[in-house]
Structure 1
Amino acid sequence: MVHPFFDPAQAAAFNELALKRDSTFELKYFGFHGLALTSRIILVVSGAKFTNVIPTDWAAEKTLTPFGVVPLLKEISVDGKITINVAESDAIDRYLAKKFGMAGDNAFEETVINSYLNNSIGMILQIYLKVFAVRDPALKAEAKEQLSNGPIPTWIKFFEQHLSDNGSNGHLVGNKITLPDIKTAHLVDIINVVKEGTITEESHPSLMKVKTTLDSIPALKAWRATDEYKAFSEFNLQHLGFA
């Protein structure tokens, strides 16, 4: 039996809602940032109406998901008559980015955006798997050292150059926020957790410009001041070592 998320009968509903920006959204994920962070930021800065849904009985809910994992996105039309669902964080991020104008204005921009995005995702996964998912302090310290002497400087070098080539305007593509800008800002934060002071305004101004540009968005600043966001950050700090 085809899983409801992947039923081709949804095609018409997807095609209709993909063009709409007045939907209501429910983003199901646990009570921390993790894999839902980027999707939450897209929804916040786009002014979308959304609710963070925290699983209350994950053992039971897990059996209903396509892969036994979250996040999951539910989109409901403004009249409440159409509902669609999207699984997997990267698919959710890209779906929302395209809906809210963060995936490029043409085929060239979309391809460049995906190139930047995939590279940063690879770097983030390395750090999470080798550092934040490791409990042994000695192994964690060793991984930090290896990353700080190889993959991280390489990523920094290329992204600082690409951002400079785009005018150091706080964006990787064009002059407005796109999906890899959000990933880049997040990556700046976690790289500085791996080794404090690695990326600063003095050492890498173009990368820091991406972060400060995103951080200055009023809607995002307002959300970060909420009790909900602070609770997510506190969980992150306790369990991963960074907020």
Structure 2
Amino acid sequence: MPSYKLYYFNVRGFAEVSRLIFAAAGEKFEDIRYEHEHWPEHKAEMPLGQMPVLEVDGVKLPQSAAIARFLAKRFNLAGKDDFEQAQVDAVVDTIYDLVKALLPTLREQDEAKKQELLKKMFAEELPKHLQNLETLAKLYGKGGPFFVGNHLTWADLFFHSFVETLLGMNGTLLDNNPWLKQNRAEVEKNPKIAEYLKTRPKTER
């Protein structure tokens, strides 16, 4: 029986999709969360001096996407064949396009400028990315509520995790994207996911 340890900060962030994969699969893992002030004590322990890091039977794997993809394949949440896996990756890469567009705004230190950039982002940039995701869902989802193949994959879990932070800033974000809103609802209907969401640590992001 493999031993899993997932190292990250005490936030959802880039580790949450992997936590959701563990939850959906019903697999046990050690959820190791460092507060930011204690991170310098552990930085040298990580292969690239960054997190998240997954440790499998004593071997550490960095990079959030590599970790999530490995876990999804191991627990049958990556797509049922090579082409479905490529479709899942296309959805995930499209979500990362959204992440890349948003990060500079979130990292803005001037609060007034940050709010101005967020307003523009929600009005102009985000709708295009959300429409791209709906386009892929129509192509790959076979008419169901999930992004690929009418079954749960880590693309659904990644979308749920990332958009949760955005919904905390703007609760009406998905009002013009009913399919995406339904997709999140379907993820939350999964009993194992529902239990995890109910019991996980409460964090702002």
If the length of structure 1 is used for normalisation, what is the TM-score?
0.75
1:74 aligns with 55
- 2:183 is aligned to 210
Q: Which residue pairs with 1:31 in the alignment? A: 10
Please point out which of 36, 40, 50 is paired with 1:59: 40
Return the alpha-carbon distance in structure 2 between the equivalents of residues 184 and 224 of structure 1.
15
> Which residues of 2 match residues 216-227 of structure 1 at below 5 A?
216-226=189-199
Distance 1:187 1:32, change over 3 A: closer
What is the count of residue pairs matched by the alignment?
A: 202
Cα deviation code 1:82-135 (max 9, x no counterpart)? x4321111111111011111212222111111111111012123223313x234
Question: Which amino acid is 2:198 matched to?
Answer: A
Distance 1:197 1:168, change over 3 A: farther
Query: CA offset at residue 150 of structure 1?
Result: 2.5
Query: Is 1:102–2:83 an aligned residue pair?
Result: no
2:64 match = 89
How far residue 182 of structure 1 moved from its aligned partner, in angstroms, is: 1.3
Distance 1:91 1:40 in 2: 14
Cα–Cα, structure 1 residues 208 and 167, in superposed 2: closer, same or farther, change >3 Å?
Answer: farther
Q: Which residue of structure 1 aligns with residue 96 of structure 2? A: 121
Q: Name the CA distance, whole Å, in 2 between partners of 1:225 and 1:187.
A: 17
Query: Kindly tell me: are residues 104 and 154 of structure 1, through their superposed partners in 2, closer, same or farther at Cα, counting changes over 3 Å?
Result: same
2:129 corresponds in structure 1 to 155
Structure 1, unmatched stretches of 5+, are 1-21, 77-82, 237-242
SS at match of 2:41: helix
- Please, which of 100, 120, 134 is the counterpart of residue 146 of structure 1? 120
Deviation for aligned residue 1:167: 4.3
- Secondary structure, in 3 states, of the residue corresponding to 1:186? helix
**In the aligned structure 2, how far is the partner of 1:208 from the partner of 1:219?**
20
TM-score w.r.t. the length of structure 2 is 0.88
Q: CA deviation at 1:185?
A: 1.9
Percent of pairs with identical residues: 22
Larger RCO of the pair (alpha carbons < 8 Å, separation 6+): 2
Task: Write out aligned runs for 1:175-190 (5 A).
Answer: 175-190=150-165
Task: Say if 1:224 and 1:195 are closer, same or farther in 2 by CA, change over 3 A.
Answer: closer
Q: Residue 69 of structure 1: CA displacement? A: 0.8
Q: CA offset at residue 194 of structure 1?
A: 4.1
| Structure 1 residues 195 and 53: alpha-carbon distance in aligned structure 2, compared to 1, 3 A threshold | closer
Identify unmatched segments of 5+ residues in structure 2. Answer: none
Is 1:170 the counterpart of 2:145? The answer is yes
- Structure index of larger Rg: 1
